[in-house]
Amino acid sequence: MTTTREATGAVGVVQEDETTAKLHRIIMTTRDLPAMPHVAGKVLELSSDPNTSASQLQQVISDDQAMTGRILKIANSAMYSCSRKIKTLTEAIVMLGFNSIRSLVVTSAARNLYQSGKTQTGLKERLLWEHSIGCAFACKLLVSSRVPALQEEAFLAGLMHDIGKLVLNLRVPDKFDEIVQVVYNENKSFSEIERNLLDFDHTDVGSLLVNKWKLSPLLEDVILEHHTESSFTADKPLLLYLDIANRICHKMGVGFTDNSDLELVDCPANRILGLTPEALDDTMAALQEALESEMDIFI
């Protein structure tokens, strides 16, 4: 005979299985979207191979003229501060290195995804994209002098942390519109409303998409955990920097959320990192300058 406790547990397992299945269905239906074009996927594969040459990367990237143009524009931006103008794709690859090229290729692929299915990008998509770019800038700025080896992964963490929102906007647009309305009208978080309406949130979707794109397990974990404060520990610096970058963007009104009173110095992530008020102010000033001078390159 099945006890009430056992029955309840069984129901919970069934519900969890259904939620997991629903998540995977949403992710797998993105296979027809230009989320990770063939050229981008090939570049990511080659850039992770230590035997790949710059000329091999150049040959693959040059097959995509739009990606080539975008990489050259970003390579010449202040974000990379090259001493001279980069005129060719080969120069960009040699001067920036494979890790930076990887970041730019993912940026190009993500930008395509924000434009998928629409003749022009709407306000909702633009705000999502601006927040993603702002967070990418902020995260890279935060680690640049503290953990230089994490710079490109930090940029990608900021860029991709909310990619799950975009997938929801594309795959369940009516539900996502409802979520946006509640977030605006009731001043609640996306994660809270998503879980109320969908039984999962954008972190679940985003981490699965990153897995499908075959980026990195570190990036997958950071995206999954970026709203889970119990995961904020000293051995996860990228997660901590991403949280502060996200908060900086919310505080500055970059994207949907505008909360000028948001705490930075005494937030859970910074209790571990210990960034000074001056360091945080400097980051916000640098971010504001970057957004004013660089954002048009990414739009």
pLDDT in tens, 199-221: 889 998 888 888 888 889 999 99
Mean pLDDT of 141-160: 93
CB atoms within 10 A of CB 214: 12
Residues 220, 226, 228, 232: is their CA dihedral positive or negative? positive
Q: Which residue reads 């503290």 in tokens? A: 146
Element (H, E) at 239: helix 237-252
Rg from Cα positions in the chain: 20
Contact predicate 46/61, CB 8 Å: no
Q: Which of 218, 220, 214, 272 is nearest to 243 (CA)?
A: 272
Percent of the chain with pLDDT over 90: 39
Per-residue pLDDT of 53-68, as tens digits, reads 989 999 999 988 888 8
Rounded Cα distance between 158 and 239, Å, is 10
pLDDT level of residue 266 (50, 70, 90 thresholds): very high
Rounded Cα distance between 214 and 36, Å, is 10
pLDDT level of residue 34 (50, 70, 90 thresholds): very low
- pLDDT surpasses 60 at 119: no
The model's pTM: 0.84
* Domain chopping of the chain, boundaries: 33-117
